[in-house]
Structure 1
């Protein structure tokens, strides 16, 4: 085995504190910047896939890493990531939600065997990142080949749905920069010489002073007052002012208005990277032991990096995690000369040309200084999944404003959520992050209004233009693809490509509790003689609660337990936790199918919603079956995340298995999304080679 690729990110940073007096202009600038970054935190996603080329029908294994850009560490800000596989027309082929634990989420997708040969793009983002689409979105191009189809998609999908690489963001340029020029020159000893050239007009209007701020991915490195004693002033900045990454230098006038900004790159410290050690060559069906070690005194962290072993193809199509996070998505689409390249391989002139025009689409200095932050529609999903939708008039599709909408999950434990539609008719609810299949019912409070409920997709296809086929060059099939195609077909025939473990435990949410707590009446039907009608049940067994019939109309009333007076409004009626609000439906239930009746007789509040009593009929089945919902209600099976499956590979430790005649031609030899340390300064993994002969690449990605 050879060609051991060792990308790894060390996210240690330091910055020097420069003290000023309280409420000084320097403190004001820092405080405004701190508030902005706190109110508008930046998330970045990186995805490590086992390969960048696949056969249609294969498994694609991946691990998601979520970063807090300011802290430059794994983030727990969001618990869900959204992944899309997009074809050359920018149409979604596969969508998936991935659970994130402390910023890491392993998963996989099964590529349909009907996919045509062509270039595809993986897009990934969180609900929070949707506030800043299309730019704040991880994108990676992969190629899929179909051995059984001659159809080839010749286009290349636009990662952001945007063709113009010169359009970096929606933030405006600083417009106060007349009369100020900045030049940056870094010497070999690490000291940076900053030259400011100003004209008479600027110096006069700024009282012969200005302020310099240096920040890197949201971390303030320096705020300094500069006296403009002449038209050319030179300031020397020490090396510790510039932490690794893209440094932003901003000049403010004496009114603290931003007047000029420049971007500057400080290289990463490449010491302390992990080292992979193993033998160089192996036989077929041979045991492989890989040891991962570092030069640092600290132990290799557990579950912080992922590793893949795949056939060597001679080209890496994605920068490693450390290089990717330098730019992230903050500066918009990267030009071809920078995209998908390790930064140490990019000429300095190429970087400088890009940084000369690049603009941050995160830091908007006008918002920073004014304190007027953007209004954000998408909250971070922290241990919940957001379900959004709209209530519209059925005939006209006009939004229905100011109406209550209910969410129910049928079951023996009643849960209740309500949402009041806003000016656009929108409502929102939250669901627990679970791989359980939930029965979700959404309905308006008033069952008689002629309305429709539209549940919005949580995926962000609408944020990307369908402007595919930007690159119409033909796709050249590499020589190894025919071999991979045969490998896939053999694995499919012999069933050796089913490397998934479906015995993982179900990720369950916390057990639900009755939203109304302990009821005033908790009637267990088996404790009493069976009565033939629900009217008789309420008359005989639930004092203060009456189900009455007048001709063909039913009504339900609850009396205030303190005054014994009937409430001015009827109680809210539930069956198996689902709001029904039609007493006739309650009357039609067969008492023999009822297990319990819960009653709340006091006024009860959930948020701003007032219940004038609650009656919940809990059936033996507990699944809200046999009751017809109103026409304007929506019932849908909903799973927030799919069960996570695991990569497994053959074990040839026994001589019998080693001599087995079932062929083994895996295109991914090994994948582990959560390598665990086995001792101080090292971790190790073991797997077995296949029947395939050739060179293999080992790729390690992760965070320390």
Structure 2
């Protein structure tokens, strides 16, 4: 009997062991197949913007070109690119919508002449990017030069963060712990200090070695706590606790040895069984590049040599899994095999450094390369910012969380010193493209935003009718009028889901559309929602972080001086144009005229915010009234969700009025901004109606005289917005006489060309520009990428 019981237990154990190994193998196979699917179906896009210069004055134009990549290749799947230009209070100044052609697009943003902020924040993205962590969207703060008197200086506040290598500091094991010290603007701070244990004994020293970063080794005891006592060069002494010590786990260390990475993993002597068989997985751009095991059943440590000379340049993520394929440690390391770029050469064929002199520049790329380049030429004396570029963004900062100070430095040379300093960046920044618990289970991301695989065209959806009413032969008749063009009539078929579109009608700016349905089709009660696939601006509900000023005060002063003189000249030109106009009376403010024209009774006058939408150039970029009002009224909080909105003001919701008749959110949400002339927001309490203790918002639609008579008047109408218009950069041609050339030339951007293209049969391209009246030298910056995903950058001073 005893023998039978032993045989039964043995067979049961073998079955359980078989199930265990089957599960482990199955999970390993799941990771392989899931990563393969991630790299093909869920590859993530990243973007970089090249600007004509690094800082601007109010009234100037920001010229840009956007480059899109996906993994190691050009991102050719998305056809529309979105850019939000946001002020320091979180108000969207413009929502640019740009068509993407061959993985690039370009455009401009005109800074308002009365802009008083110190920065404009740029967030750029494709619709596809919004399915993933928004921390990886393109973001940048552009400095705006202003004559506004400087406010009181804010004292820097330094913070110190610790980053155990691999993720955790484990008791009983020698751990490497990195740290980073920075102020509230993200600027590095040099520090020094000591590490103290629970008894107050010094166990190691602390000293930053590059841009506030450094590292030290610590073998903590169980249940012990550790504290750093440190100070800045001129600061007071501070203390910061180290991360909590984990009683068990894995400590990993990654060393650099030539073209290889040495990965060491260590476990405590009393580690549980799941930490005695480990797996290492390496990934780049969501592709698995290696997978290997580490057996620690009889050893406390194990080492693996990872060859990297055949890997592409970029971030390699090394993840440690336990015996059950649970991710327990992770480390990123930068691989630089100098295979990411192609050289670009520049030759000045004709020098013109004198006043209004003509310059000719030849740009040459290696034979066989198709390159798409952008080039800017600016006054070399104005402030420049070379802290980041196309290399550092697309290869480094777009792939990690957290701010990297002057990332372009890490691509300045290939020395061992720079390589070790780059490794400190890897130790102090996170990379979390994967939720490994989902990958192990074969779970994929939820796709909320389908990719813009086609261009934005005239389209819409019929709403307010049952699907059964949309039978075969349903159509919509439209009269379409675009600025400076003749009206034309279109008839589009409507599918059984109510959708209609014209894939050939890609348009810029806006269209005025008058529409109706054939009277015999039973669609008289239907309504239309146009351009429902046009993505709205993201929500920016809170203020941005303070902007770190650029230290080039001399260059900033020159730029501000030239910009100020140019603005004065433009103002004088306006005065000159009006010098023959006789002013017989003082002009009323436009909002006062609007108030007199539209309001009546208790809605007239009173304490209120007033908005003239007829003369607001940014009104057209808002998709509804609530988006237009966001951030414009102090204390009024507006939250949008789907097609609706909720409002809070002093603890309650303000009343809504349409042409002085009380209404609700649903009604207001459906009104196009283009149909609204005037908005008046009354501070609480509003005495014009009952229940107005939380204020009121009165919306007035356009009346006769607000718009010119247009064909189709009397039909239902709407104004739809397409792609943001792309302007042509103006550069004077002084080889021929033009009246405009008689003006004093103080341009700081002398040339901007976002579409300088080479082909295998034409490796050299030339461009020409003319000097202004004051510049003695020029800064030329060329950036771009080739058709096979290689990058280039050239910066050169002409003097």
Number of aligned residues = 518
User: What CA distance in whole angstroms lies between the structure 1 residues aligned with 2:432 and 2:475?
Assistant: 37
Structure-2 change in CA distance of 1:34 and 1:269 (3 Å): same
Measure the CA separation in 1 of the matches of 2:469 and 2:46: 36
Give deviations 1:181-229, integer Å, cap 9, x for gaps: 2211112x323222222346658336x5432221222233222233446
Structure-1 separation of matches of 2:151 and 2:532: 32
Q: Give CA deviations for 1:78-106 in whole Å, capped at 9, x if unaligned.
A: 11111121111121112211111121002
Partner of 1:137: 137
1:259 aligns with 2:337: no
SS at match of 2:114: coil
Q: Which residue of 1 aligns with 2:773?
A: 691
Higher helix share: 2
Give 1:226's match in structure 2, choosing from 286, 294, 317.
294
TM-score for both structures, normalised by structure 2? 0.56
Give yes or no for the alignment of 1:673 onto 2:754: yes
Contact (CA 8 Å) 1:221, 1:241: kept in 2 or not?
no
2:80 and 2:126 in contact (8 A); partners too:
yes
5 Å-filtered alignment, 1:161-176, equals none
Q: Give the aligned partner of residue 370 of structure 1.
A: 441
| Between 122-131 and 451-460, the greater mean CA deviation after superposition | 451-460
What does 1:583-622 align with in structure 2 at a 5 Å threshold?
A: none
- Distance in 2 (alpha carbons) for counterparts of 1:237 and 1:382: 39
1:687 & 1:314 partners in 2: Cα distance? 21
Matched, 1:414 2:492: yes
Asked if structure 1 preserves the Cα contact closer than 8 Å seen for 2:512 and 2:719, the reply is yes
Q: Which moved more, 1:344-353 or 1:365-374?
A: 344-353
Q: What is the match of residue 307 of structure 1? A: 375
Matched, 1:327 2:396: yes
Please give the residue correspondences for 1:179-578 in structure 2 after superposition, counting only pairs within 5 Å.
179-187=249-257, 189-199=258-268, 204-205=273-274, 209-228=277-296, 230-240=299-309, 242-267=311-336, 269=338, 272-278=342-348, 282-294=353-365, 296-299=366-369, 301-302=370-371, 304-312=372-380, 313-316=382-385, 319-335=388-404, 337-338=405-406, 343-344=411-412, 351-385=422-456, 410=478, 411-416=489-494, 433-435=506-508, 437-439=510-512, 458-462=535-539, 464-468=540-544, 470=546, 478-480=556-558, 481-490=560-569
CA–CA separation in structure 1 for the residues paired with 2:754 and 2:732: 18
1:383–1:433 CA contact under 8 A, matched in 2: no
Q: In structure 1, how many angstroms separate the alpha carbons of the residues matched to 2:721 and 2:327? A: 48
Conserved in 2, the CA contact under 8 Å of 1:125 and 1:137? yes
1:438-492 CA-to-partner distances (Å, cap 9, x unmatched) read 4568999998799999979833332x34133545989979321112221344356
Matching residue of 1:607: none
Call closer, same or farther: CA 1:701–1:359 in 2, change over 3 Å: same
In the aligned structure 2, how far is the partner of 1:403 from the partner of 1:135? Answer: 44
Cα offset, 1:255, TM superposition: 3.2
The CA distance in 1 between the partners of 2:496 and 2:430, in whole Å, is 42
1:264 shift after superposition: 0.7
| SS across alignment from 1:135 | helix
Report if aligned partners of 2:373, 2:785 keep a CA contact under 8 Å in 1.
Answer: yes
Aligned-pair distance for 1:247?
A: 1.1
Query: CA 1:200–1:133 in structure 2 vs 1: closer, same or farther (change >3 Å)?
Result: closer
For residues 252 and 44 of structure 2, what CA distance do their matches in structure 1 show? 28
Residues 130-151 of structure 1: CA distance to partner in whole angstroms, max 9, x if unpaired?
223641321122122356xx47
**In 1, distance between residues paired with 2:769 and 2:428?**
48
CA gap 1:272/1:154 in 2 versus in 1, 3 angstroms: farther
Question: Within 1, Cα distance between the matches of 2:343 and 2:537?
Answer: 36
Residue 412 of structure 1 contacts residue 622 of structure 1 at CA under 8 Å; is this kept in 2?
no
SS of structure 2 residue aligned to 1:373:
coil
- Could you tell me whether the CA contact under 8 Å between 1:165 and 1:333 is conserved in 2? no
Alignment deviations for residues 484-504 of structure 1 (CA, whole Å, 9 cap, x no partner): 221344356569xxxxxxxxx
Unpaired runs of at least 5, structure 1: 1-22, 157-162, 394-399, 421-426, 496-620, 630-634
What is the TM-score normalised by the length of structure 1? 0.62
Provide structure 2 residue ranges, at least 5 long, that are not aligned to the other structure.
1-24, 171-245, 479-488, 575-708, 787-799
Query: What residue in structure 2 maps to residue 646 of structure 1?
Result: 728
C-alpha change, 1:471 and 1:670, in structure 2 (3 Å) is closer
Secondary structure in 2 matching 1:669: strand
Bigger mean CA offset, 83-92 vs 639-648: 639-648
Distance verdict in 2 for CA 1:142–1:659, change over 3 Å: closer
Q: Is the 8 A contact 1:155 1:473 kept in 2?
A: no
How far did residue 437 of structure 1 move?
3.8
Secondary structure of residue in 1 paired with 2:98? strand
Are 1:386 and 1:428, in contact at CA under 8 Å, matched by a contact in 2? no
Q: What is the CA–CA distance in structure 2 between the aligned matches of 1:136 and 1:465, rounded to whole Å?
A: 19
CA 1:436–1:663: 2 relative to 1, 3 Å: closer
Q: 1:102 maps to what in 2?
A: 102
* 2:28–2:325 CA contact under 8 A, matched in 1: no
* Aligned twin of 1:424: none
Return closer, same or farther for 1:626/1:452 CA change in 2, 3 Å cut-off.
Answer: closer
What does the per-residue CA deviation read over 1:506-540, in whole Å, with 9 as the maximum and x for residues that have no partner?
xxxxxxxxxxxxxxxxxxxxxxxxxxxxxxxxxxx
Is 1:682–2:682 an aligned residue pair? no
Pair 1:430–1:453, CA change in 2 (3 A): closer
Change in 2 beyond 3 A, CA 1:348/1:178: farther
Counterpart of 1:47 (choices 40, 46, 49) is 49
**Aligned-pair Cα RMSD in Å:** 4.8
**Structure 2 equivalent of residue 8 of structure 1:** none
List per-residue Cα deviations over 1:313-332 (Å, max 9, x = no partner).
Answer: 34316511111012343422
For the 8 Å contact 1:437–1:637, the answer to whether it is kept is yes
SS of equivalent to 2:40: helix
Provide the C-alpha distance between the structure 2 equivalents of 1:177 and 1:307, rounded to a whole number of angstroms. 56
Q: CA–CA distance in 2 between the matches of 1:135 and 1:661?
A: 49
Partner of 1:663: 744
Contact persistence 2:352–2:770 (CA under 8 A)? no
CA distance in 1, matches of 2:399, 2:425: 13
- Residues 382 and 454 from structure 1, CA distance in 2 versus in 1: closer, same or farther, beyond 3 angstroms? closer
How far does residue 164 in structure 1 lie from its aligned partner after superposition?
Answer: 11
In 2, the alpha carbon distance for the partners of 1:37 and 1:649 equals 44
Residues 664/450 of structure 1: CA separation in 2 closer, same or farther (3 Å cut): closer
Task: After TM superposition, give the deviation of residue 237 of structure 1 in Å.
Answer: 1.9
